[in-house]
Amino acid sequence: MKIGELARVTGTKAETVRYYERIGLLPKPGRTDGNYRDYGPADQERLSFIRHARGLGFDIADIRSLLDLGEDPGRECADVDRIATGHMVAVERKLAQLEKLRDELARMIGQCRRGRIADCRVMQSLGDHALCDGDH
C-alpha cells in the first residue's frame, strides 16, 4: 500500500509516517516501479503499535526500546516491565502535579470577588507566585 493508505488505515498523518521513517522507528519501505513507498502488513502493525504507545504517552526512546525487544519474542519480558513501570511512575507523578494545579486553580477562583480587575485574586495570584504557594 502507498503512504496515503497506510496513513488512513492507521489514523496517522503521512508526514508522521515519514518522520517515523527518518528517525528509524519504521523501516524504510520498498519502492514501487513508480518510486512510491510500498508498505505491507508488517509496517501497518508496527505503525499501529507505535501509535498506540504514543497514545499512552510513551516517549520515542521507550518505543524504540520496546520495538527492539519485540524483535526477540522468546526473550523474558523483564525489560518491557521495567519500561512500562517507569512510564507508570512518570504518569503518577504528572497526575500528582495536575492535582496540585487543579487545587491551586480552585483556590484562586474561590477567592475571586467578581469585582474589578485591580482587586481580582486570580490576577494577583498569577502576578505574585508567593501567593500561589499558599503563603498567604
Q: Distance between CA atoms of 16 and 67, rounded to whole angstroms? A: 17
pLDDT at 111: 76
- Identify whether 68 is part of a domain: yes
Can you spell out the DSSP letters for 69-132?
HHT-TTS-SHHHHHHHHHHHHHHHHHHHHHHHHHHHHHHHHHT--SS-GGG-HHHHHHH-HHHH
Q: Are 107 and 52 contained in the same domain?
A: no
Q: Are 17 and 60 contained in the same domain?
A: yes
Give the structural domain span for 116: 89-136
Query: How many structural domains is the chain composed of?
Result: 2
> pTM here?
0.77
* CB of 9 closer than 8 Å to CB of 46: no
- Residue by residue, pLDDT tens for the chain (136 residues) are 999 999 999 999 999 999 999 999 999 999 999 999 999 999 999 999 999 999 999 999 999 999 999 999 999 999 999 999 999 999 999 999 999 999 988 888 887 767 777 777 777 777 776 655 544 4
